[in-house]
């Protein structure tokens, strides 16, 4: 199956990113490209979902094998050579695009010509690319903002859910931490010790603390507190529960401590927050 879409040039000049050509090649063993330096003026992103293939390292001429869950990003004007395996053709989704964002993966591609990576969250990327194809079949000018937004989302997802090709183990660790963080958020009112949080990810307390800081850019305890504050903000905005009841429901042992932490986080008291955002008065 070959899906190939030319995206008309945008009528709006201020998109932060916009595709030029998008497509999907599946069960197409003839898929192979060689482009000399300077021929392609856009970034070239490929995400491999099934099968295998190769990319030639432009600096050393080495042929590197890629499999499902791998991908590559060529810089503008870079030498490009890649192709599908003839006996195990890949299912690959690709985007030629332009952007002015300063993402680390784009900088790496710019510096070295190509960025090779492994990625997770494949179902999410399938969904985003499928929506892009639908918006191009047929294309309407009113679809431009959404197409740009989908490309932006793909790049942001890659920034969070990918690692250099040799970093597959690091990506697994990141995913374990994010899954643990989601479980903590869903049950933030429960008593969370560092040891209990670490058990969710399957790491020692020391290792979990270090990884959590790297992935989430904050300590686990701070994350729990932020989740509880978010839960409290929702209850303050949508219910008439008292501040004391909300504090208890969100995992705070004392209402006075909840008020102190809430004020430090939101710069207003819970009662003032409710007065600004709430749907009705409360019996505090």
Question: Which CATH number characterizes residue 252's domain?
Answer: 1.10.10.60
- Please check whether residue 109 lies inside any domain of the structure: yes
pLDDT of res. 129: 96
Range of the domain at 270: 222-277
Tell me whether residue 246 is in a domain: yes
Q: Are residues 76 and 177 in the same domain?
A: no
Query: Cα 187 from chain centroid?
Result: 23
Residues 41 and 133 in one domain: yes
With respect to residue 35, please indicate whether it lies within any of the assigned structural domains: yes
Domain shared by 126 and 193, yes or no: no
HSE-CB for 251 with a 13 A CA cutoff = 21
Cβ atoms within 10 A of the Cβ of 198, count?
Answer: 20
Write down the pLDDT at residue 283: 43
pLDDT of 278 reads 83
Number of domains in the chain: 3
CB 1 within 8 A of CB 27: yes
Q: Identify whether residues 59 and 188 lie together within a single domain.
A: no
Residue 282 lies in a domain: no
Please give the Cα distance from 96 to 160 (Å, whole number).
20
Same domain, 226 and 122: no
| Structure confidence at residue 284 (pLDDT) | 46
Strand partners, 85: none
In the three-class reduction of DSSP (H, G, I as helix; E, B as strand; rest coil), residue 20 is classed as strand
| Whole-prediction pTM | 0.71
Do 59 and 175 belong together in one domain? no
Q: Establish if 247 belongs to a structural domain.
A: yes
Residues 50 and 147 in one domain: yes
Please report whether residue 234 resides in a domain.
yes
Instruction: Tell me, yes or no, whether 146 and 42 share the same domain.
Output: yes
Q: Give me the CATH number covering residue 30.
A: 2.60.120.280
pLDDT tens-digit profile, the chain (284 residues): 788 999 999 988 899 999 999 999 998 888 899 999 999 999 999 999 999 999 987 655 678 889 999 999 999 999 999 999 999 999 999 999 999 898 989 998 998 889 999 998 899 999 999 999 999 999 999 999 999 999 999 999 999 999 887 655 566 788 889 999 999 999 999 999 999 999 998 888 988 998 899 889 999 999 999 999 999 999 999 999 999 999 999 999 999 999 999 999 999 999 999 999 987 544 44
Whether 67 maps to a domain, the answer reads: yes
């Amino acid at each position: 199956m070959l899906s190939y879409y030319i995206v008309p040039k945008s009528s709006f000049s201020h998109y932060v990113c916009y595709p030029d050509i998008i497509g999907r090649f599946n069960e197409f063993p003839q898929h192979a490209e060689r482009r000399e330096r300077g021929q392609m003026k856009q970034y070239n992103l490929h995400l491999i979902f099934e099968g295998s293939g190769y990319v030639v390292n432009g600096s050393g001429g080495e042929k590197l094998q890629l499999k499902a869950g791998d991908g590559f990003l060529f810089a503008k004007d870079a030498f490009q050579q890649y192709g599908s395996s003839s006996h195990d053709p890949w299912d690959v989704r690709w985007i030629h695009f332009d952007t002015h964002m300063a993402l680390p993966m784009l900088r790496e591609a710019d510096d070295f010509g190509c960025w090779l990576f492994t990625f997770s969250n494949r179902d999410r990327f399938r969904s985003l690319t499928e929506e892009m194809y639908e918006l191009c079949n047929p294309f309407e000018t009113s679809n431009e903002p959404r197409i740009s937004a989908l490309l932006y989302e793909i790049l942001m997802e890659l920034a969070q859910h990918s690692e250099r090709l040799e970093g597959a183990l690091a990506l697994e660790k990141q995913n374990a931490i994010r899954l643990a963080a989601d479980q903590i958020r869903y049950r933030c009112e429960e008593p969370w010790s560092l040891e209990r949080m670490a058990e969710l990810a399957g790491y020692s307390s020391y290792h979990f603390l270090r990884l959590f800081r790297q992935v989430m850019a904050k300590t686990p305890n701070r994350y729990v507190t932020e989740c509880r504050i978010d839960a409290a903000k929702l209850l303050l905005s949508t219910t008439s529960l008292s501040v004391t009841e909300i504090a208890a429901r969100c995992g705070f042992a004392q209402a006075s401590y909840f008020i102190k932490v809430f004020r430090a986080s939101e710069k207003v008291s819970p009662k003032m927050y409710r007065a600004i955002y709430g749907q009705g008065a409360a019996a505090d």
